[in-house]
Amino acid sequence: MEFIQGCKRRDRIVQKQLYEKYSARFFGVCKRYMKNIEPAEDVLVKGFLKIFDHIDSYEGKGNFEGWMQRIMINECLMELRKKQDFTIYLESSNIQPQRDASALENLYEQDVLKLLDFLPTGCRTVFNLYVIEGYKHSEIAEQLNISEGTSKSQLNLAKEKMKVLLNEYGITQNKSV
């Protein structure tokens, strides 16, 4: 791929083109985790700098865009961990795991993304990693230094809070596009 070779040569024009092509997409990823625009922009820039600095470690195995996205997610998680200890901060809840985990299947993506801004950081982070990024609870637990049970609890809490928010804001699950 032209982007990879150009970035390996440290070609500033190619780096700028890569940034222009992917910055909007990855800003969306950063915004999901960071909640506010300014921190999301900061993490986006740090993520691209890390991509450019570590481009030589990309071996061509797997999808390049996926490799870059993983770097962005890791940058977001690093920034969140600087500000809080997930082992202490995560909300406790008496919510029991749902037997039917398909409650969110009927929601539209833009509705879910709007609701993420209203969730506490712990719930939002676990929800992003599990539902949107496809991480397993064991991987989330390792990334955030929490137990798998805490990850599951936070996911269920996020789902419950989102249901409440859906009702409060009049967003229905059967809304047509």
pLDDT for 169 equals 65
In the chain, the largest separation of any two C-alpha atoms, in whole Å, equals 54
pLDDT for 112 equals 66
Q: Report the C-alpha gap between 91 and 148 in whole angstroms.
A: 15
Q: Report the C-alpha gap between 54 and 7 in whole angstroms.
A: 10
pLDDT for 162 equals 83
Each residue's pLDDT expressed in tens, for the chain with a length of 177 residues: 788 999 999 999 999 999 999 999 999 999 989 888 999 999 999 999 999 999 999 988 889 999 999 999 999 999 988 877 665 544 444 433 343 444 444 456 666 677 788 888 888 899 989 988 899 999 999 888 888 998 999 999 988 888 888 777 665 554 433
Q: Report the C-alpha gap between 158 and 164 in whole angstroms.
A: 10
pLDDT for 25 equals 94
Angle subtended by helix axes 148-168 and 109-116, to nearest 10: 110
pLDDT for 60 equals 84
Q: Six-digit token pair at 93?
A: 């809840």
Q: Report the C-alpha gap between 5 and 7 in whole angstroms.
A: 5
pLDDT for 96 equals 38
Contacts of 29 (CB under 8 A, 6+ apart): 69, 72, 73, 76
Q: Report the C-alpha gap between 177 and 79 in whole angstroms.
A: 35
Domains of the chain with CATH codes:
2-83 (1.10.1740.10), 87-168 (1.10.10.10)
Element (H, E) at 6: helix 2-8
* Residue 162 identity (one-letter amino acid): M
